[in-house]
A and B are shown apart, each in its own frame.
Chain A
Amino acid sequence: DIQMTQTTSSLSASLGDRVTISCSASQGISNYLNWYQQKPDGTVKLLIYYTSSLHSGVPSRFSGSGSGTDYSLTISNLEPEDIATYYCQQYSKLPWTFGGGTKLEIK
């Protein structure tokens, strides 16, 4: 199975900050990488698919980048509603696998 690693399990930032969350795959995944947001109430939403495509309705302050084994999600101008846990997920090879999550908190 492809292992997805989010080395930062929690992150604290101030409102208005630019935040970058990283994700690394155990082998190349050819940009088949998605990002999800899980709010404290458990609700899960798709943010970014195929590394950098913004899902419909997602604010433009969210962006994704990366290639090969290393990928990142950037939130520019952090807002209070961005408090959540963020997960990466690869779909290069079955079984689909997720990173362990990065919990974002406000300073």
Chain B
Amino acid sequence: QVQLQQSGAELVRPGTSVKVSCKASGYAFTNYLIEWVKQRPGQGLEWIGVINPGSGGTNYNEKFKGKATLTADKSSSTAYMQLSSLTSDDSAVYFCAREGWDGGYFDVWGAGTTVTVSS
């Protein structure tokens, strides 16, 4: 079945970077966009950006430009999000999700990856 499998929890130091992965299975990876969403503890959902795995094209929420970098590897059907210059504000759960075929809605979600920034 269609699945997005995310990498495990990360504990990282302030000022460093982290790369979260999202491996797709059960569908043609390059035919659907992959979205990324942030959720701080006890808070709502915030859209980070989107990548087209087929072309590599990206679109970011202005708020996350310079913070998040989205990439995709077609050979392994895996999308990645790198977060740089980490601070405590980046401590959150990060979800990847597939955008539906006709756009705008997220029809399959990963389980989320918890990133904790602490010294």
Which residue numbers of A lie inside 8 Å of B, CB to CB?
32, 34, 36, 42-46, 49-50, 55, 87, 89, 91, 94-101
**Cβ of B27 under 8 Å from chain A:** no
Interface-located stretch among B18-26, B40-48, B72-80: B40-48
Q: How large is the interface on B (under 10, 10 to 19, 20 to 34, 35 or more residues)?
A: 20 to 34
Chain A nearest CB: distance from B51 CB in Å? 14
Q: A45-B109, A100-B44 are in contact. Are A91 and B103 (CB under 8 A)?
A: yes
Q: A42-B112, A44-B95, A95-B61 are in contact. Are A87 and B45 (CB under 8 A)?
A: yes
Q: A42-B93, A42-B111, A43-B111 are in contact. Are A98 and B105 (CB under 8 A)?
A: no
Q: A94-B59, A95-B61 are in contact. Are A46 and B107 (CB under 8 A)?
A: yes
Contact B47 A96 (CB under 8 A): yes
In the bound complex, residues from chain A placing their C-beta under 8 Å from that of B107 are: 46, 49, 55
Contact A96 B44 (CB under 8 A): no
**Cβ of B32 under 8 Å from chain A:** no
Contact A32 B47 (CB under 8 A): no
Q: A49-B104, A91-B104 are in contact. Are A43 and B47 (CB under 8 A)?
A: no
Q: A95-B47, A97-B47, A100-B44 are in contact. Are A46 and B112 (CB under 8 A)?
A: no
Query: How long is the Cα–Cα vector from A104 to B23 in the complex, in angstroms?
Result: 31
Q: A95-B47, A98-B47 are in contact. Are A49 and B95 (CB under 8 A)?
A: no
Chain B nearest CB: distance from A91 CB in Å? 3
Query: How long is the Cα–Cα vector from A44 to B93 in the complex, in angstroms?
Result: 12
**Cβ of B89 under 8 Å from chain A:** no
Query: How long is the Cα–Cα vector from A46 to B37 in the complex, in angstroms?
Result: 14
B97, B105, B108, most chain A CB atoms within 10 A: B105
